[in-house]
Amino acid sequence: MDYRVDQKGFYGQFGGAYIPEMLYPNVRELEERYLGLIESEAFRDEFTSLLKDYAGRPSPLYLASRLSEHYGTNIYLKREDLNHTGSHKINNTIGQIIMARHLGKKRIIAETGAGQHGVATATVCALYGLECVVYMGALDVSRQAPNVKKMKMLGAKVVPVHSGNKTLKDATNEAIRDWINKPVNTYYIIGSVVGPHPYPDMVTRFQSVISKEMRTQLAEKTGRETPDYIIACVGGGSNAAGAYYHYLDDKSVRLVSAEAAGLGVESGSTAATLILGTPGIIHGSKTLLMQDRDGQIQEPYSISAGLDYPGVGPLHAWLARSGRAEVLTATDEEALRAALLLTRKEGIIPALESAHALAVLEKLSFKKDEVVVVNLSGRGDKDMETYIAYLDI
C-alpha cells in the first residue's frame, strides 16, 4: 500500500484539488514547483538553518520517567512545545514563507482558528518583512484576545469574519475568497495538512522534520530507530503527519491518531471526524468530514480550539480507512485529566490539543520493554484560562 501522495495528488480515494478556475494558475504553479524547490540546495539551507537557529530545533526527545512508571512502559515525549511560538506550527510557516519568497510573492494571507497558526504566520512575515493578512472568525477574535494582540504587535492585519458560525471554517472560506480576488501577488499559507493538492503533501514534508529527528534520537537513546508506538493528536493532522512520515512504511510501528471526542463521540458535540466522517469535499480537498445527509457541514466541538475542524487532512482519512493508523478518541474531560497528570508527573503543562494524545495512553496496554513516543505538539500557556476554569487548582 502506498501512503504517500500519488501523481494526481491523491491518497487512495482522498485528496485532489477541487478549486475554482480562478485559482488554477496559482495552485498549478505551486504544484509544478514545490518539489523542485524543497529539494534545491538553496531552499534546504535556508529551511534547515532557520529551523535550527530561529525555531530552536532539534526539539528534544525526552524520556518521561515518572509518566513511564505510571503506565508501566517507556514513554518518550517529542518536545514540539519547546519550539519558538510554542508548537509545531512554526515548522510549516517557516517552510511556506521560504516557498512564497522563492515564488516571488509579496503578500501573505492565512486563516486561523484559535490563533496559533495566525501567530506563527505573522511571526515569519515579520521575519521576512512581508505584508500579512490573517482571517479569523469573529467569535474566535473575541475568545482569543491575547493571540489577536500578538498578531497585531507582529504587524499583521487581523480580519474578523462575520459569516457562518464565525469560526475556523468561515475564516478559511474568506481566505480562499481573498486569494481568488488577488491571485497574482498573494501566497496563501495554509496551517495544516488540508486544502487542495499540493498543500497536504507540502505541509507534511515541512513537518516531517519531527520524525526525521525522532529516528536519530531514538537510535541514540534506545539503540533502535523504530518505536513500537507513535501517538499524536489529529485536528487537521499536521503534527501527526510529521511524526508519522518517516515511519509510514514500517508496519512494526503502530500509529495512533487521537481525535477530540468533545462531550462524547455520540453526543452531537464532538470533533471525531475520522470516526464519524463520510467522504465529501471541503476547502479544495476530498476527505472525511462531518456532514448531515444533505451534505451540510456539522459544526465540530471540542474544548480544544485547535482540534475543532470539521474536516481532516486526506492523508489521515486514508491512513484511517486503510487501517494503517488506529483512531482513538479522548473527551474534554479525559484530556483535562491527562494534562493534569503530565503536569504533576513531569512538570510540563501541555497544550490542550496535545493532552488528547496523552489521554489515549489510558486506552492502550503496553508491555514493559516497549517504546512509546507521544508527540507533544504544543505548550499549555495559551490554555491556562481553560485549565483554571475546569481543573480544581
Ligand X SMILES: *Cc1c(COP(=O)(O)O)cnc(C)c1O
For residues 73 and 209, which CB has a smaller minimum distance to ligand X in the complex?
A: 209
Where are the alpha helices (H) located in the chain, listed in sequence order?
24-39, 41-50, 65-71, 89-102, 116-128, 138-143, 145-153, 168-181, 199-207, 209-222, 238-244, 273-276, 314-321, 332-346, 352-359, 384-390
For residues 287 and 354, which CB has a smaller minimum distance to ligand X in the complex?
A: 354
For residues 9 and 313, which CB has a smaller minimum distance to ligand X in the complex?
A: 313
Contact 362, 218 (CB under 8 A): no
Give how far Cα 195 sits from Cα of 18, 104, 122, 173, Å: 9, 21, 20, 11
Where are the alpha helices (H) located in 232-331, listed in sequence order?
238-244, 273-276, 314-321
Residue nearest to ligand X (CB): 378
111, 334, 346, 353: the active-site residue: 111
Give how far Cα 241 sits from Cα of 3, 61, 228, 284, Å: 11, 17, 17, 19
For residues 204 and 217, which CB has a smaller minimum distance to ligand X in the complex?
A: 204
Active site residue 377: yes
Least distance CB 353 / ligand X (angstroms) = 3
CA distance 51 to 95: 9
68, 192, 304, 377: the active-site residue: 377
Least distance CB 393 / ligand X (angstroms) = 21
78, 89, 166, 169: the active-site residue: 89
For residues 100 and 349, which CB has a smaller minimum distance to ligand X in the complex?
A: 349
Least distance CB 333 / ligand X (angstroms) = 19
Least distance CB 116 / ligand X (angstroms) = 4
Q: 32, exposed or middle or buried, with CB in 10 Å at 0-12, 13-18, 19+? A: exposed
How crowded is residue 53: how many other Cβ atoms within 10 Å of its Cβ? 9
Least distance CB 9 / ligand X (angstroms) = 19
How crowded is residue 157: how many other Cβ atoms within 10 Å of its Cβ? 13
Least distance CB 379 / ligand X (angstroms) = 8
Q: Please give the residue ranges that form the binding site for ligand X (CB under 6 A).
A: 87, 89, 116, 192, 233-239, 306-307, 351, 353-354, 377-378
For residues 73 and 136, which CB has a smaller minimum distance to ligand X in the complex?
A: 136
The x, y and z cell numbers of residue 393, run together, are 487548582
CA distance 25 to 348: 46
Which region holds residue 161: left if phi is over 0, alpha if psi is between -120 and 50, else beta? beta
Q: Which residues are catalytic?
A: 89, 111, 377
